[in-house]
Structure 1
Amino acid sequence: MPIILSIETSTKACSAAIHQDGKLLSVSELYNEKSSSGMLTTLIEHVVKTASLKLQEVDAIAVAKGPGSYTGLRIGVSTAKGLCFTLEKPLIAINTLEAMAFSIFDLKSDAQNPVTNLQSSIVNLLCPMLDARRMEVYCAVYKADSLEVIEPTQAKIIDETSFADLLEKHQIIFFGDGAEKCRTTLGANPNAVFLNHTIYPSAKSIGALANGAFEQQQFENVADFEPFYLKEFVGTTPKKNSI
């Protein structure tokens, strides 16, 4: 019955959670328009205390590996690696988009869950989206009933033709902080479904998925592990003064 501490810092939302044998013991989530990841240590201390545990009792550290915010991912992964080294615990890395899809998949028995309200005669799909630049998003497509990957994680520039083949035969639920800016472009298609609220990745889903990874001994090399940025960071170069 592994005890797993999970960390999620891929977006402006930041969270930590404790799971035991896949069951959620405690979670702490924070959202701030500027940045929440600076509060990560406080959130970790809170969930450990709430679960009536000590850090030394944790069997593994799980972290959202990305894609997502460069700064957020660096903070989350650095914190997770530091804990692994200090506590001599294994590291588990979970894809951020997969965790977002799982958050909806895990609620499929809930009458309020959007998956249950779609047409049952066709195969429905989930498309978590994280905001990138302009009309670009980080996204992936999963089957809503099994989380089977239909389209792998990618950086995608959204236009009127995006997902056209899939939308011909499937209803797709688009969600995440990158979905809203795609509503105008894709919303005219009757098979494109947009949630009325933003779903952020959470340590709750990271920990649930990490339990399966722990059972299969799917651990990362702590020394060499790096976040899954998906794209190289592009900074701005200051303009030189003209002479």
Structure 2
Amino acid sequence: MNDEAAIPGIDVEPVTAWFTEHTSAQPPLTFELIAGGRSNLTFRVQDQAGGDWVLRRPPLGHVLATAHDMGREHRIISALAPTDVPVAPVVGLETDEAVNGAPFYVMDFVDGIVVRDAWVAETLSVDQRAAIGRSVAATLAKIHAIDPDAVGLGELGRKEGYLARQLKRWNRQFELAAQREVPEVTTAYERLLTAIPEQGAAAIVHGDYRLDNCMVDASGEVIAVLDWELCTLGDPLADLGLLMVYWTEADDP
């Protein structure tokens, strides 16, 4: 798909020129939206010679302050690349909004399986599913074992008070986006503020760690952790808690 009007979020001509300058891409290029919505937009970019990349940019329209920082996400993935945490190889970052209307960064495309829907899970054998579960857990442990200072991420965020910061941040984001009053949210926010557990040692926190943010191969091994836009420093148990939230059983109400 090369029709600029059919690909909101991609200014085809200048983006193609960027790829020609920074990669081995041979135009014309095709752009396919593979993830979008209110989160960052993710496009698969292919050329006529078999080149395959991924472009990430902020969502279209109104973007809340402090959200969707492409430079920050690029920095995190680049810092983790030399470690044993699997991430997609980064190609480059473009901060000049004149190129595509917003900053973006590009990675090499990683060919794997993303278990985002039940029908995908149903194509996997019991052994594959078990292997995926083990690898997802082991990969999370690898993330939390990284010394932030050793990989240049020691200033990514404050190490203390993670849960309080998260509560205040998301409550503020809700207030900015809300179009009507929802008193239940205020009640829940105030209740949670009074029940924050004591934090242990700080670690790199992915912030949205779940099965469909892990790309796996046919053996069930995680080959790339995706969507680092919420990553910061804080309580690693928050990642574990979120992962467990998404663990559902067929007979759950």
* TM-score of the pair, normalised by structure 1: 0.27
Structure with the higher fraction of residues in strand conformation:
1
Structure with the higher fraction of residues in helix conformation:
2
* TM-score of the pair, normalised by structure 2: 0.27
Indicate the structure whose relative CO is greater, using CA pairs within 8 Å and at least 6 residues apart: 1
